Structure 1
Amino acid sequence: MDFLDELQHRVLIGDGAMGTELLAHGVPPGRCLEELCVSDPDLVRGVHERYIAAGARLIETNTFGANAVRLAQYGCEHRVGELNWTAAQLAKDVARGKDVYVAGCVGPLGITAEEAAARGIDRHEVFTDQIGALLDGGCRIIFLETFLDADELLVALEAKQALHHCPVVAMLTSNDRQAFQAAIAKVRAAEAEVVGANCVDGTHALHLLDGMDPDATLAAFPSAGLPKTHDQQLAYPTTPEVFAANARTLAERGVRLLGGCCGVGPQHIAALAAAFRETTTPT
């Protein structure tokens, strides 16, 4: 049974946040997190291993910002191929021999279309370079996540579709339900197999996804709420128990792929996996 087939038979559990988990384990703010795949692979490996031990059936590569535009902030813009390929190989190595999917994580560029045009940046080419390296590294699922701009998501999706036929999960974050659902309709028309919301809390994810086309295969990777500073560190208010309860409600509304975003750690994923351990048929 492959990834898309399995989603039709059971709720599949994904992993939680990579960035906040790395920061929680001593990585200083402002560090290039994606470069850690090369300079400290055991640290990244440990995050993957903890999520798998918690019950995640899908892990994402540590490549959210591993595109040339974001990497340029750290002088790493020429390392796109190296960092993405290495991250894919690292995640595949951790998942080897386990019943776990590996997805290549791709985030937005962090600039507007106007800024890209002014700087002579070809967004399609930037996404092509990153996604191509993830595919070369062995990823056969691509995760496009935390996109605020539907047009940018479509650019990334078009780049992926031109490279490989493998499944893609395309997720937006939005404050406007109507705009979100209109954007998702465009993304589905561009043949994204799985669509959904991430980087919003569970209640808002439910609001965004409520009333979606019942034929859509839905994903939700909520955050653990809005963070507050505690002892000079960010603290997220949503407990693992509340996170899992919210996820149950999302599944009741048709969501098939569930994981977490900012502030969601292995404890949240363990609670999530326990809540769905007996779920083997569509809800």
Structure 2
Amino acid sequence: MPRASGPLAEALARRTVLLDGGLSNQLADQGCDLSGDLWTGRVLTERPGQVARAHAAYAGAGAEVLITASYQLGSAAPAELFARSVRLAAGAAEAAGHEVWVAASVGPYGAVLADGSEYRGRYGLGVRELAAFHRPRVEALLAAGPDVLALETIPDTVEAEALLGILAETGAPAWLSYTVAGGRTRAGQPLAEAFALAAASPQVIAVGVNCCDPEDVLPALEAAAGVTGMPLLAYPNDGSVWEAATRTWHAPGHPAPWPAEAWQEAGARLIGGCCRIGPAGIAALAARVSW
């Protein structure tokens, strides 16, 4: 069965595309209050102009894909809030002066719990329950017309299966990005098994990892390449560890430069940053890597 097509999928067949960086850290740097369970969703609700400003900062740094502020919105959030997240990113894309795509963020169930469980998975819910949670979120985002869905920071193959089932219903293009550690998903499943799920979904245009230690990226990409033959993606954080109880990041002792060129050689065609990677980091990445 042929895979989903579209301008972004066609671009990935030719070259590497630069993603943006972490939205939460950029909003914090702009002076926004991210306290409370909604996190970036709070800023989307109360100060949407700051979200537009953050998107513009990444586009100005060279990002070719802007990921919406819908990551932590739950299924009970108003449809208008999901639509707003897409409109704000689309507005920044239109003003960028270069081609920019909009990826609608579909964060994991654990992100809505706001207790760090997106880094553990195994919520005790089955495919049916997780699909019921995600379906209205996906539908609300698709109604706003993004270029692609970003199924991101997924810790568990059970949740991936639920999301891929929804994709099959909608036919929408998406990328699937796991958060990983030590050569496995955060829930402990083998990466080959996790990536094989994406390979079987014609709606998936790229697969890979995000919000993980940069050191975990290359082994994960190699595992994905071995079972998918698809364009890969990588947008790790800076190697810090999230402490949910205190809502703080514990910084790494000796962060190393990213071997982004090696990621490209392994098949990465979407490369960017996640938490604690700002516009300066994206601009530096743009200068180093052949796009």
The 5-angstrom pairing of residues 44-83 of structure 1 reads 44-68=51-75, 77=76, 79-83=77-81
Alpha-carbon distance between aligned partners in 2 of 1:241 and 1:91, rounded to the nearest angstrom: 31
What per-residue deviation string (whole Å, max 9, x for no partner) do you get for residues 175-229 of structure 1? 2436112110122112322100111122211122225237221001111111599
8 Å Cα contact 2:33/2:43 also seen in 1: no
Q: State the match for 1:175 in structure 2.
A: 181
What corresponds to 1:17 in structure 2?
Answer: 22
CA distance in 1, matches of 2:157, 2:270: 21
Gaps of 5+ in 2: 1-5, 114-120, 185-189
CA RMSD of aligned residues (A): 2.7
2:34–2:42 contact (8 Å) kept in structure 1: no
In structure 2, what residue type is equivalent to 1:105? S
Are 2:288 and 1:275 equivalent residues in the alignment? yes
Q: What SS does the corresponding residue of 1:146 show, helix, strand or coil?
A: strand
Per-residue CA deviation, residues 240-277 of structure 1 (Å, 9 max, x unaligned), is 9924xx2122112211110111111101100111123x
Kindly report which structure 2 residues correspond to 1:118-129, keeping only aligned pairs within 5 A, or say none: 122-129=129-136
Instruction: Give 3-state SS (helix, strand or coil) of 2:41's partner.
Output: coil
1:94 aligns with 2:101: no
Q: Following superposition of structure 1 onto structure 2, how do residues 99-178 of structure 1 map, counting pairs within 5 Å?
A: 99-110=99-110, 115-116=124-125, 122-163=129-170, 165-177=171-183
2:263 to 246, 250, 261: 250
Q: Counterpart in 2 of 1:39?
A: 46
Identity of aligned residues (%): 27
For residues 195 and 135 of structure 2, what CA distance do their matches in structure 1 show? 21
Say yes or no: does 1:263 pair with 2:276. Answer: yes
Provide structure 1 residue ranges, at least 5 long, that are not aligned to the other structure: 69-76
Is contact 2:212-2:236 (8 Å) kept? yes
Q: Distance in 2 between matches of 1:139 and 1:28?
A: 27
CA distances 1:68-126 after superposition (whole Å, capped 9, x unpaired): 3xxxxxxxx3x241211111111111112541000100111116666447xxx932122
Q: Specify the code of the residue in structure 2 equivalent to 1:218.
A: L
- Equivalent residue for 2:211, pick from 199, 212, 221: 199
TM-score by length of 1: 0.83
1:228–1:157 Cα change, 3 Å: closer
User: Hey, what does 2:9 align to over in structure 1?
Assistant: 4
Compute the TM-score of the two structures, normalised by the length of structure 2.
0.81
Could you tell me which amino acid in structure 1 is paired with residue 27 of structure 2?
L
Q: Distance in 2 between matches of 1:40 and 1:100?
A: 23
Residue 56 of structure 2 aligns to a residue whose secondary structure is helix
Q: Secondary structure at the match of 1:102?
A: strand
* Structure 1 residues 155 and 161, CA gap change in structure 2 (3 angstroms): same
Bigger mean CA offset, 133-142 vs 206-215: 206-215
- Kindly indicate whether the alpha-carbon contact (under 8 Å) linking 1:194 and 1:216 is maintained by their aligned counterparts in 2: yes
Alpha-carbon displacement from aligned partner over 1:116-138 (angstroms, at most 9, x marks no partner): 47xxx932122111111111112
Query: How has the CA–CA distance of structure 1 residues 239 and 221 changed in structure 2, closer, same or farther, with 3 Å as cutoff?
Result: farther
- Deviation at 1:237? 5.3
Distance 1:261 1:269, change over 3 A: same
